[in-house]
Amino acid sequence: MGYEIYRIEKDRARFRDIVRGRLREDLKKYLSSTDLLGQRAGRTISIPVPQIELPRLRFGENQGQGVGQGPGEEGAVVDGDGQNGEGAGAAGEDQGQHMLEVEVEIDELAEMLAAELELPNIEPRGTKQLLSEGGRYTGLRNQGPRSLRHFRRTFKRALTRTIAEGNWDPAEPRVVPIKDDERFRMRRTAPLPESSAVILHMMDVSGSMGKEQKEIVRIQAFWIDTWLRSQYKNIEVVYIVHDAVAKIVDSEEFFHLRESGGTKISSAYELALELIQTKYRPDQWNIYPFHYSDGDNWSARDTSHCISLLRDELLPRVNQFCYGQVKSAYGSGQFKKDLEQALGSTENLISAAVDGRDEIAESIRAFLGRGR
């Protein structure tokens, strides 16, 4: 058959359009919920949406009963999940729960976000000289000149093949590559700097940052990533957590770790600076550090150290530095005040206070609204 496929794809596309329309309408809701987190795979995000239902006549509350089958005394709890068991079940009429996942491209979601928050596109940061088209020999291909033959890869493949063919003799370990085994180095053009960006998410994980605070950070980070991913072709994300010391972690840890102890914000800034100086050089990368904390720092001395780090080292090197202060039960919120007092007039420093989930959207608008 096969021809249904094309037809059904049209219906499916139409359904997805409708879902996107609803998503657009409900974006506010998603901006403060954790529903979308962890749903990204490559450049698509799968979004759980309620199945669209037409109103129908249904029996109500006093219907909460039905007929079941199986053992059990009166009063015994039965599992009534409604999932069909395995077996020759045809599509049931009301099988499963009424949620669907729909894939949406990151660019599309970002575009919705932009429409909702009226975000401007990011302007290229200055004119940077084009890197030479030279690139580096980082790729592989299976044809090429002898001089570029990748010996190790070729040998590995030949070895694998020899073993698979049963010709491997440990006593006489002879491996003869044939043409199919050969691999050659290939030149890859390096991405142009205009299209590369790095996001440095730094989070305070000291004792005072609770679960809700982390969720807020998580939601913020998700939307910031989504937006920046739509703006740059090549993007890297680095997660840094700190209490009194800072370290680089993976995203899983970033969002779940709970340390306790003191807070020395400068430790994170120093680590960020080190990364910028070694790995993400400003002439090759657009740099977006974000720092989330509840505003409590260890000492006034460390705060002034942070300020001088920002003023002298970080701010000159980055596109924009964002500080998001999440309200917590214990935090004093002092850091934001200090920051604004010392560096308030600096163009590429943005600070925002987030007192609750409702304010996430506003803080994202503050962070990304300048098109920098």
Asked if 170 touches other proteins (CB under 8 A), the answer is: no
Asked if 347 touches other proteins (CB under 8 A), the answer is: no
Site for other proteins in 89-148 (CB under 8 A): 89-91, 93, 95-96, 100-102
Nearest 5°: CA angle at 78, between 75 and 83? Answer: 160
Closest distance to other proteins from the beta carbon of 49 (Å): 10
Measured over the CA atoms of residue 281, residue 282, residue 284 and residue 290, the dihedral's sign is positive
Asked if 67 touches other proteins (CB under 8 A), the answer is: yes
DSSP one-letter string for 170-203: TTS------GGG--EEEEEPPPPGGGEEEEEEEE
Asked if 42 touches other proteins (CB under 8 A), the answer is: no
DSSP one-letter string for 157-177: HHHHHHHHHT---TTS-----
Closest distance to other proteins from the beta carbon of 129 (Å): 48
For residues 357 and 32, is the Cβ–Cβ distance under 8 A? yes
Asked if 81 touches other proteins (CB under 8 A), the answer is: yes
Closest distance to other proteins from the beta carbon of 73 (Å): 7
Secondary structure of 85-139 as H, E, C letters? CCCCCCCCCCCCCCEEEEEEEHHHHHHHHHHHHCCCCCCCCCCCCCCCCCCEEEE
User: What is the x/- site pattern for other proteins, positions 194-233, by CB under 8 A?
Assistant: ----------------------------------------
Residue from 25, 28, 83, 332 binding other proteins (CB under 8 A): 83
Sole window of 48-56, 210-218, 220-228, 299-307 interacting with other proteins (rule: CB under 8 A):
48-56
Asked if 8 touches other proteins (CB under 8 A), the answer is: yes
Residue from 77, 130, 164, 329 binding other proteins (CB under 8 A): 77
Compute the distance between CA of residue 297 and CA of residue 79 in angstroms, rounded to an integer: 51
Closest distance to other proteins from the beta carbon of 255 (Å): 24
Structure tokens at 337: 């005040």
**Contact residues: other proteins, CB under 8 A:** 1-5, 7-8, 10-18, 51-52, 54-91, 93, 95-96, 100-102
